[in-house]
Amino acid sequence: MGSDGRQEDNAPELMGLFSLRRIADATSSYGSAKYVIFGVPFDGTSSFRRGSRLAPDSVRLAYDNLESFDFHYGVNFPLVPICDLGNMQVGEDVSEVIDTVEAATAEIFREGKIPVMIGGEHSVTVGAVRNIGRDCTMIIIDAHSDFREEYMGNRYNHACVTRRSLEILGPGRIYSVGTRSVSLEEYNSKEWKEVRFFTADEVRSKGISSVVNEIEKASPGRIYFSIDMDGIDPSEAPGVGTPEPYGLRAMEVRELIRHFAKRIVGFDIVEMTPVYDNGNTSMLAAKLIQDFIGSRESSLA
Ligand code: MN
Ligand code: MN
């Protein structure tokens, strides 16, 4: 270390030869960034297949293979002010991790920037939701209702995210899309109707445009968008912690993102497990991030 304690003082001539992994299009500094990407490598409460702590770097690696120009949106990503802060330092305690996410996103929101968080397990979302304000709508993509009061003795388990978010945002603010795994206890809870759960079957029979229309009519304001990758069918997103058959199509999720992008003030993508992936899940996650930023920046309607 150098005399002022900074590691890079050691051999500045070597710094250009090494890099910390960043999203390829993240060419901006934090100060001038509009989109602030960061990873939260935490999977401490995961109940089945662990490994989501490895997802942020796996998504960055996949992102390297995407073109930096998207002709559909007409967006040249290196010109968009995107920064990547790297991965958050996390310990073992889920409550502390959520508090750290809360502190980080509070700062990002205060600066008027848009957090793009890569989990990690779904519990990390709660930290961001604490900052979005009660006038904000939340759209969740998930196979699971995540509506348990507590799970394995912990109210901040990843199986409780929607329940915790409801306590913060109140009734009528949360839309969860792709639901197909619900416990009897969750289904019977008196708060069940306070969240609008669109089952995967309902999306299949009525079409994703009916979901878009219902949300559009009821909630015209700002939106926080949280993607639990297991909401998407395991055929398209196999690398997840708790896979569930009969899911959404990736293009249906993209449709929601494209429609609401201009109103989205915060975005996360969670529950990927590279250990069980064939590469497609990380690739899809990278693409969904690009779809979000691309459609938000697009001058198309
Ligand atoms: Mn979830
Ligand atoms: Mn899930």
For residues 114 and 69, give the distance between their C-alpha atoms in angstroms, rounded to a whole number: 21
What is the distance in A from the centroid of ligand 1 to the CA of 143? 7
What is the distance in A from the centroid of ligand 1 to the CA of 97? 16
Residue 289 placed within a domain: yes
Per-residue pLDDT at 185 exceeds 50: yes
Among all bound ligands, the one having the nearest atom to the CA of 270 is: 1
Among all bound ligands, the one having the nearest atom to the CA of 123 is: 1
Residue 21 placed within a domain: yes
What is the distance in A from the centroid of ligand 2 to the CA of 142? 5
For residues 99 and 158, give the distance between their C-alpha atoms in angstroms, rounded to a whole number: 15
Per-residue pLDDT at 16 exceeds 90: no
For residue 82, name the pLDDT band (cuts at 50, 70, 90): very high
Q: Please give the backbone phi and psi of residue 25, each rounded to the nearest 5 degrees, phi first.
A: -85, 0
* Mean pLDDT value across residues 238-254: 97
Per-residue pLDDT at 2 exceeds 50: no
Predicted confidence at residue 90, as pLDDT, reads: 94
Range(s) of the domain holding residue 71: 7-297
Residue 2 placed within a domain: no
* Mean pLDDT value across residues 245-253: 98
CB burial string 59-93: b at 16+ within 10 A, e below: bbbbbeebeeebeebebebeebbbbbbbbbebeee
Q: Total structural domains in the chain?
A: 1
Predicted confidence at residue 1, as pLDDT, reads: 39
For residues 56 and 272, give the distance between their C-alpha atoms in angstroms, rounded to a whole number: 9
What is the distance in A from the centroid of ligand 2 to the CA of 286? 18
In this structure, the chain runs to a length of 301
What is the distance in A from the centroid of ligand 2 to the CA of 193? 19
For residue 13, name the pLDDT band (cuts at 50, 70, 90): confident
Among all bound ligands, the one having the nearest atom to the CA of 140 is: 1
E strands present in 56-147: 69-70, 75-76, 82-87, 114-119, 137-141
Among all bound ligands, the one having the nearest atom to the CA of 182 is: 2
For residues 138 and 264, give the distance between their C-alpha atoms in angstroms, rounded to a whole number: 9
* Mean pLDDT value across residues 150-179: 96
Q: Please give the backbone phi and psi of residue 204, each rounded to the nearest 5 degrees, phi first.
A: -65, -45
Among all bound ligands, the one having the nearest atom to the CA of 163 is: 1
Residue 167 placed within a domain: yes
Among all bound ligands, the one having the nearest atom to the CA of 241 is: 2
What is the distance in A from the centroid of ligand 1 to the CA of 36? 22
What is the distance in A from the centroid of ligand 2 to the CA of 231? 6
What is the distance in A from the centroid of ligand 1 to the CA of 228? 5
Predicted confidence at residue 10, as pLDDT, reads: 65
What is the distance in A from the centroid of ligand 1 to the CA of 217? 25
* Residues linked to residue 127 through DSSP beta bridges, in sequence order: none
SS3 (DSSP) at 120? coil
Q: Which two tokens stand for residue 24?
A: 């390829």
Predicted confidence at residue 191, as pLDDT, reads: 98
Predicted confidence at residue 9, as pLDDT, reads: 59
For residues 273 and 118, give the distance between their C-alpha atoms in angstroms, rounded to a whole number: 12
For residue 3, name the pLDDT band (cuts at 50, 70, 90): very low
Among all bound ligands, the one having the nearest atom to the CA of 247 is: 2
What is the distance in A from the centroid of ligand 2 to the CA of 271? 7
For residues 84 and 57, give the distance between their C-alpha atoms in angstroms, rounded to a whole number: 11
What percent of the chain stands above pLDDT 70? 94
Q: Give me the CATH number covering residue 138.
A: 3.40.800.10
What is the distance in A from the centroid of ligand 1 to the CA of 269? 10
Predicted confidence at residue 6, as pLDDT, reads: 52
CB atoms within 10 A of CB 190: 6
Among all bound ligands, the one having the nearest atom to the CA of 146 is: 1
What is the distance in A from the centroid of ligand 1 to the CA of 293? 22
What is the distance in A from the centroid of ligand 2 to the CA of 49? 12
Q: Which residues, other chains included, contact 148 with Cβ-Cβ below 8 Å and sequence gap of 6+?
A: 157, 159, 160, 163, 183, 185, 186
What percent of the chain stands above pLDDT 90? 88
Predicted confidence at residue 46, as pLDDT, reads: 76
* Mean pLDDT value across residues 88-96: 95
What is the distance in A from the centroid of ligand 1 to the CA of 157? 10
Residue 1 placed within a domain: no
pTM: 0.94
Residue 22 placed within a domain: yes
SS3 (DSSP) at 61? helix
Q: Which two tokens stand for residue 37?
A: 């990407």
What is the distance in A from the centroid of ligand 2 to the CA of 181? 8
* Mean pLDDT value across residues 242-256: 98
What is the distance in A from the centroid of ligand 2 to the CA of 221? 26
CA atoms within 13 Å, Cβ hemisphere of 282? 24
Average pLDDT, the chain: 93
For residue 134, name the pLDDT band (cuts at 50, 70, 90): confident
Residue 142 placed within a domain: yes
* Mean pLDDT value across residues 234-253: 98
Predicted confidence at residue 59, as pLDDT, reads: 97
For residues 96 and 240, give the distance between their C-alpha atoms in angstroms, rounded to a whole number: 24
